[in-house]
Amino acid sequence: MKSITFFLSVLIVCCRCFAQTDNIERTKAIAQLEKANYDAANNKAASLASDNFQVTYYRCNWNIDPAVRYISGSVTSYFKTTAFTNQIIYDFTDKLSVDSVIYHNQHAAFSQQSNSTLTINFSVEFGIGKQDSVAIYYHGVPPGSGDFTGGFTQTTHAGTPVIWTLSEPYGAAGWWPCRNGLDDKADSIDIYITHPSQYNASSNGVLVSTAINGSNTTTHYKHRYPIATYLVCLGVTNYSIFTNNVQINDKTLPVIQYVYPESLSDFQSKTSVVLNALQLYSSYFGDYPFLKERYGQTQFSWGGGMEHQTNSFVTSTGTNLMTHELGHQWFGDKVTCGSWQDIWLNEGFAQWLADMFYTEKVDSGNYKSNVKADLLYVVSQPGGTVWVNDTTNSNRIFDNRLTYDKGAFLVRMLRWTLGDSLFFAGINKYLTDPKITYGFARTKDLQRNLQQVSGQNLNYFFNQWFYGEGYPSFTVKWKDSSDHNLYFNVSQTTSMPSSVKFFKVLLPVQVSNNSQTKLLTLNVTQKNQDFVVSNPGFATKTVVIDPENYIISKNNKVIKTKTAPLSKDGAVVIVSPNPAIDVANILLQNFNGNVQLQLFDNNGDIKWQQQTIVQTPFVKMQIPFSSFISGAYTLLVIDENGSKHTVTILK
C-alpha cells in the first residue's frame, strides 16, 4: 500500500511539473521532485556506513541496457582508514546481490544486512591512515521508488528505452555500494558503462573513450574533482549529442549536451541561456568550479532537474530550470551542504542565482514580479524556519516556501544588509575557504566568512532569519519640514513573537515627489525608533516601504502626520551628508545641558564618542568618517535627562 501511494504521488508530481511554466511553479516542481526522491529513501534516513574509513577514489564498471531494469558490474573503492579495524561497512541495498568482494586478488568475507549496509571483514587489521582498496561485484534489479530509493529509473521517451539515475539525498546506495553521507567526498572517480552500441551513455566529468566490443560499447568517463556520492550519475539512451564552447576568462570550456532526438532543436535554440549564465556566474563567483573538464546537460524523463556534478540533468529548456541547476555547480557541488538541516545553502542560493540571471540577462521587470510572488508565498503563513528542524520529514527538507523561497530571500537580504561589495567578497571567500571548498559546509561557515570580510557581527541576522520564525510588519509615520528634512518614527509587530519579538533590519524607505525619487535606509534597532533624515533635495509627497522587496515583511503601513512623529521630547539630530564620505556634519536641535554622543558600528563597537554642553538652540559638530569601512553606523545621542536619540549614518 505504501509503495502504491508513493507511485501515485510521484505520478501526480510529474504531471504537474510538465505543465508548469512560470518561475513560482517551476520552483515548486523542483522542490516536489526532490521531496519525492527523499520520500523514497525515508525509511533509511541517513548513511549507516562505518566512520572508520574515508573513500578517496571510486572506479565503477557498470553494465546497462536501457531496455531492461537491471544493473551488473563492480565498484572498486580506494580508502584510508581512520581507526584500527579489520572491518568496514558500506551503504548498499540488500535488494541487489553481491557476488564477491575481492581484496588483493583474494575473496574477502562479507555480509549484506536488511538495513541496507554491506559489511566487509578483512583477514588483516588496518592501522590508522592505512591506504588500500577493495572491489565489490554485484548484480540485480535496483529497488523501485517505493522501496529504498527512486535513484535508478528505467522508462521510455518517444517509445525508446532510457535508464537514468537521481540519487539525492540517499539514493546512491540503492544502485551502487558507497559511503553515502554528507561527510565524505571521493577525490576522483572513473566510470565505465557498457551498453548496447545503438545507445549513448552520459555521466560525470570528461569522456575519455568509447570502445566497441561486438554489439556493445564501453564508454569511459573520468572526473578529477572531489564529489559527493549523491552527485554521481549515469544516463543511457539514444541521445543526440552536440557541443558548444564558452570563454571563461582566458580558458575555453566545452559545453556538451545529451538530449532526446525529439528535443534536439529546442535545446540547440536555448543553448545561449546556458552559455550566458556560465559567464555571468563566473564573473561574480569565480571561474566555473570544474573548468579543467566541462559542463554538460543531460535530458531525463522527470519533472525538474538535478545538479549532478559537471552534468545537470534537466527535463526541458526552461530558463529558470537551467540556470537554477547550473548555479548548483558553485552552491551544492563545489561547496555542498554538510547536513540536510542546511539545504538552503544549496537550494536557496540556486534559486537566488536563477532570479539574478533574469535581472542581468533577461527581463528585470519579470524578475521583480517573480520576487514579489515569492515574497507573498513566504509570508502566506506566519511561521517556519529556514533551518530544517526535522531531517526525517521530506516535506520539511524540501519545503518550497522555506528551503527555496525563504532561503533565496535570506541571500537577497544578506546582499542588501552588507552591500554589493562586502556581500560578493564574502560569498567568494566562502566558496574558496580551504576548510570547505570542494567539501562540505554548514550555515555557520557562511556566517564566519561573511563576518570576516565585512567586520560585522551577523549573529542577529541568522538568529532572526535562519533559526527564527516569522516576519515583521512595519508602521512608518513621517513628516516633511519646511527645510525638507524628514522626520520618521518606525515601529513593528512580528508574526511569531514567541520566536522573534523584534527584527533588526536596514529598512529601505523610498521618498518621492512628482518627478524625483530617493531611496533612504533606516537602521531599525529599537521597537519604537525616531529618525531624522537630512534634506533629500526635494519636497517629499509620498513614502513607500521597501519598494524593491529587499526584505521579508507584510502588512506594512505608512502614515503621514501633521507634526513631527517623534516619540520623545521634540529634540532633533540631523546628519548631512548621509551617506557620509569623509565627515558627517551633526546638528543638534532643541537639546539643552550635558549631551553625550557615541557612534557604533554594526558589531556594537564604539568608533567615536564626544561629550558636550549645549546652551544654544543649535549645536554643530563633525564626525570623521574617512577611516571607517563601508556599512551602517548608529549615532546615539543621550541628553542630561537620559533620553536617547538614534540616527543611522551610512558610509
Q: What CATH number has the domain bearing residue 489?
A: 2.60.40.1930
Whether residues 463 and 535 share a domain: the answer is no
Whether residues 509 and 609 share a domain: the answer is yes
**212 occurs within a structural domain:** yes
Whether residues 386 and 518 share a domain: the answer is no
Distance CA 34, CA 400 (A): 10
Distance CA 27, CA 21 (A): 10
Torsion 121-122-128-129 (CA) sign: negative
**628 occurs within a structural domain:** yes
**328 occurs within a structural domain:** no
Q: Which of 439, 467, 495 is the last residue of a domain?
A: 467
Q: CA dihedral in degrees (30, 32, 37, 41; nearest 10)? A: 140
3-state secondary structure of 324: helix
Question: Among 22, 541, 523, which residue's Cα sits nearest to residue 532?
Answer: 523
**613 occurs within a structural domain:** yes
**Domain membership of residue 390 as a residue range:** 336-467
Quick one: pLDDT at residue 27?
Answer: 58
**129 occurs within a structural domain:** yes
Q: Which of 237, 263, 281 is the last residue of a domain?
A: 237
Chain segment 253-265, per-residue pLDDT in tens = 999 999 999 999 9
What's this model's pTM, rounded to 2 decimal places? 0.86
Whether residues 461 and 481 share a domain: the answer is no
Q: Which of 446, 467, 488 is the last residue of a domain?
A: 467
Whether residues 576 and 508 share a domain: the answer is yes
**419 occurs within a structural domain:** yes
Whether residues 415 and 521 share a domain: the answer is no
Whether residues 92 and 223 share a domain: the answer is yes
Residues of the chain with pLDDT under 70: 1-45, 145-150, 360-364, 566-570
**158 occurs within a structural domain:** yes
**513 occurs within a structural domain:** yes
Read off the CATH number of the domain in which 395 is found.
Answer: 1.10.390.10
Quick one: pLDDT at residue 135?
Answer: 98
Whether residues 116 and 174 share a domain: the answer is yes
Whether residues 496 and 528 share a domain: the answer is yes
Number of domains in the chain: 3
Percent of the chain's residues with pLDDT above 70: 90
| Helices 407-418 and 344-357, axial angle in degrees (round to 10) | 70
The 10 Å CB-count burial string (b at 16+, else e) for 120-135 is bebeeebeeeeebebb
Whether residues 164 and 228 share a domain: the answer is yes
Whether residues 184 and 202 share a domain: the answer is yes
Read off the CATH number of the domain in which 215 is found.
Answer: 2.60.40.1730
Whether residues 458 and 477 share a domain: the answer is no
Distance CA 99, CA 74 (A): 10
